[in-house]
Amino acid sequence: MSGSYDPHDPFFRRAKAEGYLARSIYKLQEIDQRYHLLRAGMTVVDLGAAPGSWTQYLLQKVGPTGKVIALDPQPILIQAPNLIVLQMDIFSDETEKLADKHSVDGVISDMAPSTSGQRIVDQARSADLVARTLALAEIWIRPGGFWIAKLLEGPALSTLLSQARALFTQVHILRPKATRKGSTECFLIGKKRKPL
């Protein structure tokens, strides 16, 4: 991704100094601090986890009694006793069987599509990724659980919000401070999965 390693970016410098694999850690940290999602002992699925900065944060928050399932077609660069790393595509049929039904506390995604340079195409690809995370969230998340997904904002936003509201009691949109200037990305957050 061009521009990912701007040495003048304070979030990039901070991530390097604090031992995180990517500056995106601070987006998840802000979401968690604002909405109070993560606690010790939770089981959380991290979709599109590579290189692993969100996974690093999750492992800190869920602690040794929790579990993180990190999934990405690319290698994930960290290891931990309570981390399950799966190198696979989220659209694979096998993905749905990775966790037992209604067995996880949260599903998170910082996934972005391979960009084409055409805004409408990229927005549509991003929306497809978010829709897939919601479908997996519906299978995996237990009542009371949460969901976070990155979206390149576009025409599908209202449809995705409606789908999220059908599943979660509270739905929010946030553009974290660590989001790059000029980016159309935002994060959709679902809190308190409705009873089954």
Contact criterion met (CB below 8 Å) for 95 and 71:
yes
**Among residues 150, 191, 192, 194, which one is catalytic?**
150
Distance CA 27, CA 22 (A): 10
> Residue 71's CB: how many other CB atoms inside 10 A?
25
Tokens of 33: 């601090």
Q: For 115-150, give one letter per residue: b (16+ CB within 10 A) or e.
A: eeeeeeebbbbbbebbbbbbebbbbbbeeebbbbbb
Report whether the peptide linkage leading into residue 51 is cis, meaning its omega lies within 30 degrees of zero: yes
Distance CA 61, CA 188 (A): 20
Is 191 annotated as catalytic? Answer: no
Of 149, 126, 135, the residue nearest 47 (C-alpha): 149
Residues belonging to the active site: 150
